[in-house]
Structures are given as structure tokens and as C-alpha cells.
Structure 1
Amino acid sequence: MAFEELKEHTENIQDQANVYFKSHMAYYKLWGFKVAMKSTTLILKFTLVLLCFSMVLLFGSVAAGFALSNWFGSYTFGFLAVGGIYLLATILLLLIKDKIVEGPILEKFSEIFFND
């Protein structure tokens, strides 16, 4: 009789462990889906903003090139001046890229993954 009770309790424990495992698997699937969707939408938003900013920068650069060309009296010097401004901006960004890019991105993805 004791053996049958022990067998019953063992089967009950196995059933409960199976239910526990399945519920946790479902939870982590949903959690993974949520994190993947938040990350995907964040990247998509960033890409759209970057695309719009690139268009503004392109047309602004052409306008600045023509404006400086008028001021210098030469198209070559005007567009070289715009190129020089971008060269200086690129060098500046290379010097401070970790503070501007790496920190905020790491912070945002840490918030997505660990704060929920």
C-alpha cells in the first residue's frame, strides 16, 4: 500500500513539474516575442528618423553648397567648404562616439531587456 501511495505522489509530482515547465516555456516565449517586437520597432523608428534626417541633410547640404558658392564666387570652393564642414564634423564624432552612441543605445536596450 505504501508503495502505491508513493507511486501516486510521484505521478502527481511529475504532472505538476510538467505543468510548471509548460507554463514557464509559454511565459518565456511571450517574453521573447515582446522583447523582439520592442527591439524591432525601436530599430524601425530609428531607421525612419535617420532616413528623414538624411534627406534634410542632403538638401540642406546642396543649398549650403550653392549659398557658399555665391559667397565665394565659385561652385568649387562652395562645395569644398561644405565638404570640409562635414570632414570636421566626422572627426569630432569619431572622437566622442562612445559617449554619444554607445551609451544611449546600451541604456535603451538594457531598459527593454531587464526592466520588464
Structure 2
Amino acid sequence: MAFEEVKEDIRDIKSNAKAYLDSNIEFYQLWGFKVITKATSFMLKLFLLSLFSMLTLLFISIAAAFAIGRSLESFTLGFLIVGGIYLILSLVIYYYKNLIIEKPLIRKFSDIFFND
């Protein structure tokens, strides 16, 4: 009689453990789906924003180069000046890349992965 009760308790423990594991697996699958969706959405928004910003910057740069070139009476100098400005800007960004790019990106991804 006692042996049957222990056997029944072991079956209950086994079924409860299986249900617990199944619910944990479902939870982590949903959590993973949520994190992947948020990260993908962030990357897509970042890509589209970067694309349109670069196109805007391209047209503004061309207009500025032509304007500078017209005022200096040399379109070559206008484009060289705009190119020089971008070279200086690139060097500044490279020098401060951790502060400008890496830290905000790490902060955003840590918010996505760990705060939800």
C-alpha cells in the first residue's frame, strides 16, 4: 500500500516536472522571439534612417560643393573643400568612436536584451 502511494507520488512528480519544463521552454521561446523581433526592428529602423540620412547628406553635399565652387569660381575647389570637411569629420568620429557609436549601441542592445 505504501509502495503504491510512493509510486503514484513519483508519477505526479514526473508529470509536474515535465509540465514545468514544457512551460519554461515555451516561455524562453516567446522571450527569444520577442528579443529577436525587437533587435531586428531596431536594426531595420537604423538601416532605413541611415540610408535616407546618407542620401540627404549626399544631395546637400553636392549642392554645397557647387555653391562653394561658384563663389570661388572653381567647382574643383568646391568639391575639394567639401571633401576636406568630410575627411576632418571622419577623423573626429574615428577618434571618438567609442563615445559616439559603440557605447550608445551597446546601451540600446542591452536595453533590448536585458530589461524586458
Q: Shorter chain as normaliser: what TM range? A: over 0.9
- Which position in structure 2 is the counterpart of 1:111? 111
* Aligned mates of 1:83, 1:113 — CA distance in 2: 39
User: How far is the alpha carbon of 1:2 from its aligned partner?
Assistant: 1.5
What residue ranges of structure 1 are gaps of 5+ in the alignment?
Answer: none
Aligned partners of 2:55, 2:113: CA distance in 1, in Å? 32
Q: Percent identity at matched positions?
A: 47
Residue equivalent to 1:11:
11
1:58 and 2:58 matched: yes
What TM-score results when the alignment is normalised by the length of structure 1?
0.98
Q: CA separation in 2, counterparts of 1:75 and 1:24? A: 66
Q: 1:85 aligns to what?
A: 85
Unpaired segments of 5 or more residues in structure 2?
none
Cα deviation for residue 75 of structure 1 reads: 1.1
Cα deviations by residue, 1:10-68 (Å, 9 ceiling, x for unpaired): 01000000000000000000000000000000011111110110111010010011011
Stretches of 4+ moved more than 4 A in 1? Answer: none
Give the alignment's TM-score, normalised by structure 2.
0.98
**RMSD over equivalenced CA pairs, Å:** 0.6
